Amino acid sequence: MTPADDSFRSSGAAPEAPAAIADRDPAAFPRQYARTRRFSLGVPRQFGVSPDGRRVLFVRTGGGSDPVGRLWVFEGGKERVLIDPVALGVTPTTGTTKAAEGRLPEAERVRRERAREYSTGVVAYAADAAARVVACALSGALWVVRTDGGAPVRVPAAGPVVDPRPSPDGRLVAYVTGGSLHVIALEDGKDRQLAAPEGPDVTYGLPEYVAAESMGRSRGYWWAPDSRHLLVARVDTSGVERRYISDPAHPERPPRAVAYPSAGTANAEVSLHILPVAASGPVPASGRAASRPVAVSRPVAVPRPVAASGERRVDVAWDRATYTYLVSAGWDGHGPLIGVQTRDQRSLHTLAVDPGTGATRTLHERTDPAWTEIVPGTPARTASGALVLPEDTPGTRHLNVGGTTVTPPGLQVREVVAVEGEQVWFTAGEEPTAVHVWRWAPADGLTRLSDGPGLFTAAAGGGTVVLSGLTPEGPVAEVRSSGPDRPVACVRGSGPDTADVTTATARTIASLGEDPVVTPRPEHLLLGRRELRAALYLPSWYEPGTGTLPVLLSPYGGPGVQLAVRARTWFACVAQWFAEEGFAVLVADGRGTPGRGPAWEKAVHGDQLTPALEDQTDALHAAAARFAYLDLSRVAIRGWSFGGFLAAAAVLHRPDVFHAAVAGAAPTDQRLYDTHWKERFLGHPRETPDHYTRSSLVGHGHLLRRPLLLVQGLADDNVAPAHTLRFSAELLAAGRPHSVLPLPGAGHAPADPAVNENLLRFERDFLRSALDKN
């Protein structure tokens, strides 16, 4: 279909599509978007650097259409595959994601759902301290490989393996199976159960739901640097409400129970324990030594396991009744270090743990009248013991090292990515639309390591830094090293032929991802009195002055996510495709989104609806005042999750502005969302019920006057189907016509390529029809 063939695209005559656009047919975009898993396949990720700076580990699938992840090492200027599940016969390259993966342990399936993982095969790995021994789980089996040679070895385990992690000395591998924590010796294959659950609702070594979904803590155990002990989380969900997720398309299958703490209800009980590990023999020189048959001990339930040395476990003591949440944990050269937070999230303590007694002492306390923000990578300590922490002022989130603020006003810290010696690497932005990598060192102060527009992060070790992220041109992965014998590798864009080699000794880590068939062409804007960061996408074939365009707002608009950024994100590609289909697409980040300081983020405290919707409305009107071709008589809005909530709220509360909406996975009743995430913004529903009433869609269904499409995955354990079904029932009872599109078997982020491909077209057709009838 050419632009002139579709009267919806413009109210005036539009020029023919240029040949260059015809060659890259936008009609092919939905299938490419789905097939490439949102353009994530083939892009290197999960970088890890050895402490000597000579080895870089990473995960990458075989290409833009290949969902199977492989483990790679970059060393000596060359990359080499370490574990290829296809070559091992573990994961086929054909079939659906579910079929190709085999039968995953339930805990691993849940872990991937929390991580929004779109690939199969090697999706995560862990290495010893020297990055010589690497472990991963493939379809529940434990595989180990050495980076200095030898084939990957499957190591028999006591059961399906979740989250395997080598000890720092590389002699042991710890893993979780059936809620039990085990260690296995690589020399002789002896498997020992360190902790066994005392009941069906108890696990050792796994994070609870809110930790993985809302806190960003994806782990449940941590090795001591000397490899002799483990710091382990015990989770008891016996007091947590259960949700039962069923698949209506398969009524023969039993429902799945999820321990889900809704706002105002009981959380899981989380405690920490230090478990001793018996000594084992030396790590084998290569994978061959561990390939012989190994013995596996039978698990025995011992509530308080005793090591061979006679040591018993040590219970970590803190005021768990007050500091309900374990938000972070780790073990460095100074001992265990944890972060604990009150239920109301207004106080966050950093505690040092005595590994011999379990006693804790407070190193630092952060308080805030709204909530204390969790910054990934903190708390941490330098080699000298200086604490690395965030420090909030109303306008800026700073970095504080050893009690000294080391970043200037206006530089918004996002994450601490590495601490080596006294140096700290972190990400931060001076402008909300870009995120850069910075290093702070006592002698040199601050140094920015990344350049140009984009969203960057890093991994570091031994003088080597891996810069990775997205630029307006696509993915970037760049390895920089201070040593003269260590080459610099750089990748910009997609495919090995597009590498930008910046030095004579440069080598490339290829990005095998596909370039999208539509190229995002955003115009970045500052809109309204709050200078809202926004991006406007127009059809490539449209000439201003040839007619007006209907407007499609496509926000997220909530905490933790920015969309109006200077990078070729998958979301920018989708926005451009909707533009090619005839819309002027406006994306704006309002109050509550990150990157503009604590006061901006916390402007939604107590009311997550009014400021967010007001900012989308203001952005629309400010853009229309600048661009006369934006047709305010034809305005639609679409979104997913918080964006879906915002889209539905727009047609409920501002039908004078918004004429149609698509709301995907919309949390319509804030009381149904989880404790940690929702109470952060709205408080406890028993104490502040008006906050929940004001910020929910339920109770307001009678206001609907515009076309609304509700989309819901029926296996979503984050925004439960009850959100959509109850709201739809309310709309029906009020006599308000609307449409519901159920997605059987789909979670919060639908994984089926066919669903993702056709959902885009379905949304387009719904919005076209709704606006044509307006």
CB 129 within 8 A of CB 172: no
What is the DSSP code (8-state) at residue 79? E
Give the chain's length.
774
Residue 30: strand, helix, or coil = helix
- Count of C-beta atoms within a 10 Å radius of residue 111: 23
Q: 623-649 pLDDT, tens per residue?
A: 999 999 999 999 999 999 999 999 999
Whether the upstream peptide bond of residue 379 has omega within 30° of 0, thus cis, is yes
- Which domains, ranges and CATH numbers included, belong to the chain? 125-314 (2.140.10.30), 518-772 (3.40.50.1820)
pLDDT score for 293: 32
645, containing H or E segment:
helix 642-653
pLDDT score for 3: 37
Euclidean distance between CA atoms 247 and 721, whole angstroms: 11
Phi-psi domain of 735 (left: phi exceeds 0; alpha: psi -120 through 50; beta: other): left
CB 728 within 8 A of CB 740: yes
DSSP H helical segments within 169-255, as ranges?
209-210
pLDDT score for 281: 34
Q: Which residues of the chain have pLDDT under 50?
A: 1-23, 95-100, 279-309, 483-506
Euclidean distance between CA atoms 532 and 622, whole angstroms: 10
pLDDT score for 90: 87
CA 382-386-388 angle, to 5 degrees, is 75
Give which of 456, 446, 629, 602 is closest to 536, Cα–Cα. Answer: 629
Q: Report residue 197 CA to chain centroid gap.
A: 29
Q: What's the Cα-to-Cα distance from 494 to each of 499, 574, 605, rounded to whole Å?
A: 8, 18, 41
Q: What is the dihedral of CA 122, 125, 131, 135, to 10 degrees?
A: -80
Euclidean distance between CA atoms 397 and 598, whole angstroms: 6
Work out whether strand 66-75 and strand 120-121 pair parallel, antiparallel, or are unpaired. parallel
Spell out the SS3 assignment of 274-343: EEECCCCCCCCCCHHHHHCCCCCCCCCCCCCCECCCCCECEECCCCCCCCCEEEEEEEECCEEEEEEECC
Report long-range pairs for 215-220 (Cβ below 8 Å, ≥24 apart). 215/325, 215/327, 215/374, 215/676, 216/374, 216/376, 217/326, 217/327, 217/328, 217/329, 218/111, 218/114, 218/115, 219/163, 219/329, 220/163, 220/176
Q: 484-493 pLDDT, tens per residue?
A: 444 334 433 3
